[in-house]
Each structure stands twice: as structure tokens, then as C-alpha cells.
Amino acid sequence: MFRRTTFAIAALALSAAMLAGPALAKPVVIKFSHVVAENTPKGQMANKFRDLVKERLGDKVEVEVYPNSQLFGDNKVLEAMMLGDVQMAAPSLSKFSRYTKKLQLYDLPFLFTNMDAVEKFQKGPEGQHLLESISSKGLIGLGYLHNGMKQLSSSKPLRVPADAKGLKFRIMSSDVLAAQFKALHATPLKKPFSEVFTLLQTKAIDGQENTWSNIYSKKFFEVQPYITESNHGLLDYMVVTSTEFWNGLPEDVRAEVKKSLDDAIVFGNKVAAEKALGDKQKIIDSKRSEVIELTPEQRNQWVEVMKPVWKEFEGQIGKDLIDAAYNSNK
């Protein structure tokens, strides 16, 4: 009796499963990890990418976005990518020096006069070639994303380079940025982005450099009474994935994911341009921080002090590459 009932239950379960049809294939999951807030160019780009992939690939691919260093901070994300724990990220170009010295180019102070020059260089042959500079490490550069020009925030007004002497500045993990602050006779400290607000709030450091959108979205302006509009350097990103993951995707899926990413980047770049103006204005309106504009003479002093850094890194980056980037200003 017992055996007959068990058999009947099993048969019922089987026919129910057959009615339900074949088991559904699981979607490919793309974990996209980043360190900034959602209301930033990178945050908005990542969310747009997630939405476009859902719209175009339905249940085949699912993008999960993890903002604000929730999943991985700056220092761990690329290692995690190679272990397969995360599939996409867009670290700042300043955070690749363990993988290639070539990308240090983008950290040279006063290299690009504006974002049009950056765009021109990145779309040109040298810029495109740099996307492949990490391929020997098992990583693929899928595209660039803009944030914008960096400004200097500080506990005291910075009008000329001598004002920065003796101050401690947080920097991203870049030797070029370290050399830039040493040229000012200041002390650079390489720290993860997630620690910057607390370091500033507790006065463990005196200042930092960042874009208007990062200064606004992470509330640095609330703990930094002065921001000098120096536009002295660039903060842009490279969207990366691992070669193993990317090549493992079916060709048609890979093409659609790439197209969605390209479209999301176009969107993110528009957000970047808007936020460079809008977030600066919001900071001014808040009256929490005074925005200092430099006179042409003051600006020239910063250029004169910082530009010798180019020579220091010419051997690692390559003079041809520096020239090509500089020529994009014409």
C-alpha cells in the first residue's frame, strides 16, 4: 500500500513537471561594482546599462549594480574580477597602475584643456589602443566613461601653489598624483574613495582633489571650506571586464551587451557634462564651501610647478603618447 502511494505521488510530480515544460535556463549574471553614489555619471551609466540589458536581452542576462563600494572597494575590485566574483567595473584611470604604466598618461597635470580634447584623444588611435593596455593581465577595456576635470578642495584657501605647502592631500593610488603633490611640497596619501569623507571630517587630512560631482554627491563640500576651481587634472574611467568572462559569452549575447554598454556610456557622458556644471552650482548655492576662481597669473603658477611631473614619467608612459594626447587640445 505504502509503495503504491509513493509511486502515485512520484508519477504526479513528474507529470506536473512535464506540464510546466523544460527547466528555465538561468540568466547570465553581470555584477557591476562601483564606488561612487548613484547620482553621479558612473552611477547613472551603470543603472542605464542594467535597464538597457533588461529591455534588450530579457531573461538571458541580468545586470546587478552595486554602488558606494558595497561589494568591492577600489583596491580589491580588479582582483575580484579575475577570480570571477564580479564581472564589470569602471575604476578611475588612476587606479590601474598595478596593471599598466601607460594609463598614467591620464593623470599628468594640465594635459587636457577641456573634455572635448579628452574625447578627441580617446576616440583616436592612441586612445583606443590604450583600452588594450591591460589585456596581458586578463582584463579587457570595453570603453571610456567621463566624469570630468578635478578641483582642489582644502581646509584653507589655495590660490597659489605655495598655499598647499605642508598640507596633507588624499590621492587615488597613482604615483603621478603623488609626484604632483610632492611638487607642491605637500604630502600625498593614497587612500580608498570610501574613506575620504571621514578623513576630511576628522581632519586627518587637509584636502583632496576630485570632480564637482564626486565632491557634491559624497558631501566633501560640507567638510571642506574651500574649493579651488583648478581644472588641473582629469578623472575618467575605463569600463572593464575579464577576458575569461567576456569570451565565454555567446557571440550574439556579447554583441548586445556591448551595444547596451556603448549606449549607456553615451548617456553617462551627457550626465557628466551636466553634473560638472549643475553640481558646482549646487555647492556654490549651499554656501558651505567657498569656490575660488584663479586669475590667469595664479593658474600659470600651478602649471609651472606641476608640469615638470610630465618629464618624470615620460620614460614609463612614452613621449609619443604624451605628445598625441597634448595635440588633441589643438
In the chain, the largest separation of any two C-alpha atoms, in whole Å, equals 98
Positions 144 through 163 that interact with ligand SIN (CB under 6 A): 147
| Beta strands 207-210 and 168-171, pairing class | parallel
- Smallest distance from the beta carbon of 263 to ligand SIN, in angstroms? 21
Q: Which residue is nearest to ligand SIN (CB)?
A: 193
Q: What character string, x for contact with ligand SIN (CB under 6 A) and - otherwise, covers 254-293?
A: ----------------------------------------
Cell 561594482 locates to 33
In a 3-state reduction of DSSP, which class is residue 68?
coil
- Smallest distance from the beta carbon of 170 to ligand SIN, in angstroms? 8
Choose the binding region for ligand SIN from 16-24, 35-43, 249-257, 298-306 (rule: CB under 6 A): 35-43
Question: Does 35 sit near ligand SIN (CB under 6 A)?
Answer: yes
Question: Does 104 sit near ligand SIN (CB under 6 A)?
Answer: no
Q: What character string, x for contact with ligand SIN (CB under 6 A) and - otherwise, covers 40-59?
A: --x-----------------
Q: Using the 8-state DSSP alphabet, how is residue 96 labeled? A: -
Interface residue with ligand SIN, options 172, 177, 249, 272 (CB under 6 A): 172
- Closer residue to ligand SIN in complex, CB, 66/326: 66
Positions 239 through 258 that interact with ligand SIN (CB under 6 A): none
- Closer residue to ligand SIN in complex, CB, 61/231: 231
Choose the binding region for ligand SIN from 34-42, 181-189, 301-309, 319-327 (rule: CB under 6 A): 34-42
Question: Does 214 sit near ligand SIN (CB under 6 A)?
Answer: yes
Interface residue with ligand SIN, options 28, 36, 77, 130 (CB under 6 A): 36
Torsion angle in degrees (nearest 10) through CA of 98, 100, 103, 105: 100
Q: How far is CA 119 from CA 125, 128, 148, 149, 266, in A?
A: 12, 11, 11, 13, 11
Q: Give the angle 183-184-185 at the CA atoms, nearest 5°.
A: 90
State the Cα–Cα distance between residues 159 and 174, nearest whole angstrom: 24
Interface residue with ligand SIN, options 72, 96, 99, 193 (CB under 6 A): 193
State the Cα–Cα distance between residues 180 and 60, nearest whole angstrom: 46
- Within a 10 A sphere around the Cβ of 292, how many other Cβ atoms? 18
Q: How far is CA 155 from CA 37, 170, 173, 225, 227, in A?
A: 23, 13, 22, 6, 9
- Smallest distance from the beta carbon of 37 to ligand SIN, in angstroms? 10
69: left (phi over 0), alpha (psi -120 to 50) or beta: left
Q: Please give the helix or strand (H or E) that residue 242 lies within, else none.
A: strand 226-242
- Closer residue to ligand SIN in complex, CB, 42/50: 42
* Number of residues forming the site for ligand SIN (CB under 6 A): 10
Footprint of ligand SIN on this chain (CB under 6 A)?
35-36, 42, 92, 147, 172, 193, 210, 214, 235
